[in-house]
Structure 1
Amino acid sequence: MSERKPAGMSYESWVEQRIGEAADRGDFDGLPGTGRPLPQGEADEDWWVRGYLRREDVSTDLSLPAPLLLRRQADDIDHTVGRLLDEAAVRRVVGELNQRVEESWRRPAGHGPVARRVDAEAVVARWRENRAEPSPEPAAARPTPWWRRVGRRVRSRP
């Protein structure tokens, strides 16, 4: 449990005293990053947030306001559905996005741009067009199973 600040001491001087005591005890020795310089050239005060997101491999889309996130998802819909295998899944993803867009319309206005619905038929048409049908590969010569090889040797004996 931490101690209480003495009545006659200012908060800043009490905090500085506590930090000095912790440094004297060695509480700050061996911390990760000790001795490394701070990144240079970062004029923005949020440089550490960007570094954290980069290190943790977190998408910066999560920090966007909802309408901008919906716009980005609508812009990237072709890439999102490009990995899907059937038309029903494409329609389901587009439907879920459109449902989130409609829900954003019901929220109070004045908090950024409004996203538009995505045309499901156009997305499906582009998905069909961009979908590469696998080329039929010639049947490779399959090795003969061991039981057939054994059977041939037995039959071919005199």
Structure 2
Amino acid sequence: MAFHESWVDKQIREAQERGEFDNLPGAGKPLEGLDDPDPDWWVKKMMAREGLDASDALPPVMILRREHASFPESLLDVRTEDGVREVLRDYNLRVVDDRRRPAFGKESPVWAPTVEIEPMVERWRELRAERAAAAARAAVAAAAVSEPAPPRKRWWQRHGT
């Protein structure tokens, strides 16, 4: 009976014959993590090595719910009310798009809530005012703490002339 070697097996055999698997790092050592009770140890290690965030693997609806929970604090860096309205409109559009996605299974789908734009803009205004007031208080406190240095004597004043 003739042995049929697959293309992959042939590539591996030829690489072995060329010595491409010789002296690889970790050769002859046991694999790390096999005794870890967490079945996803290798995924977590790879994500840490690659600098990936685990939240990127969440379903889109969960990412939207997390974004909703961060409002209005996450909007503080937006400079204008129109910019805040635009961010919130974009969020609401993404929520509606997610709701249009077909749902499968017996359970009802998880939905992300939409945002009422004007109350959120009002809350953004309040937070920005609080942040500006806190910054002003910090600046006043810093100015009060730092006293000006005494004037430096000139060389003729130091030498008594």
TM-score greater than 0.5 by the shorter chain = yes
Moved beyond 6 Å, runs of 4+ = none
Alignment pair present for 1:127 and 2:89: no
- Unaligned 5+ segments in structure 1 are 1-5, 140-158
- Seen in structure 2, the aligned counterparts of structure 1 residues 27 and 73 have a Cα distance that, compared at 3 Å, is same
TM-score norm. by structure 1 comes to 0.62
CA–CA separation in structure 1 for the residues paired with 2:75 and 2:30: 44
Aligned to 2:93: 99
Q: Number of aligned residue pairs: give it.
A: 132
Alignment pair present for 1:43 and 2:37: yes
Percent identity at matched positions? 27
Q: CA deviation at 1:94?
A: 0.9
Aligned to 1:67: 61
Amino acid at match of 1:85: R
Q: CA deviation at 1:22?
A: 2.6
Q: CA deviation at 1:72?
A: 1.4
CA contact (8 A) 2:72 2:123 kept: yes
TM-score norm. by structure 2 comes to 0.61
CA–CA separation in structure 1 for the residues paired with 2:124 and 2:17: 61
Q: CA deviation at 1:9?
A: 5.9
